[in-house]
Amino acid sequence: TPKKAPPMPGDVLVHAVGEKAGQPVTVADLGEELVRAWPMGKDKEGNDVVRDGEPTGILAIYKFPAGEIKAPTRLEGTIDGQIVAYSDRCTHAGCNVGEGKAPSGKGIMNCPCHSGQYEPREGCKVIGGPPPAPLPQLPIKLEGDKLVATSFFVSRPFGYATDEDWVKYT
């Protein structure tokens, strides 16, 4: 069903939590702290459907100062090299990943389950703990004031058992 589908091209990213839950995420909502979102698509009748029935569709969105986002982030999948979206489901065992701090004091992503750490400025590469792979980036673009997915995740997210499981969406 559309509710249980993964993110698809054209989906609008909407807030997952807080008083804006269900409303489109705008640039003004974003910063260096994680904003959690769901993709929102359409059902057959053309009505909006938040895809919150597929746990692997949960997203983490950031806006960093210009120049901070580097490879292996795919810059063409960011908005102006500053706004980037990732799967927010840990590649280790599927927990939602939250905020953390590096010893330098810099904000990073930290998984509450087994202390997996990711660097969202560098393609969410693993910088600590047991995760076997980066959090997959979801390529996005700006349409008006909304963030819109342009493809499926660029690498295999948690919950897709084989590469073929995610390649069929790409």
Residue 133 C-beta: closest distance to ligand FES, Å? 11
Q: Rule CB under 6 A: is residue 126 a binding residue for ligand FES?
A: no
Of 17, 70, 114, 167, which one interacts with ligand FES (CB under 6 A)? 114
Residue whose CB is less far from ligand FES, 24 or 116: 116
Residue 62 C-beta: closest distance to ligand FES, Å? 18
Alpha-carbon gap, residue 162 to 95, rounded angstroms: 19
Of 111, 135, 138, 147, which one interacts with ligand FES (CB under 6 A)? 111
Q: Which of residues 71-110 bind ligand FES (CB under 6 A)?
A: 90, 92-93, 95
Of 31, 81, 128, 130, which one interacts with ligand FES (CB under 6 A)? 130
In sequence order, what are the residues at sequence separation of 6 or more whose Cβ sits closer than 8 angstroms to the Cβ of residue 147?
12, 13, 24, 25, 26, 27, 37, 61, 79, 83, 85, 140, 141
Cα dihedral 19, 20, 21, 23, rounded to 10, equals 160
Q: Rule CB under 6 A: is residue 55 a binding residue for ligand FES?
A: no
Q: Rule CB under 6 A: is residue 120 a binding residue for ligand FES?
A: no
Tokens 């904003």 identify what position? 35
Positions in the binding site for ligand FES (CB under 6 A): 90, 92-93, 95, 111, 113-114, 116, 129-131
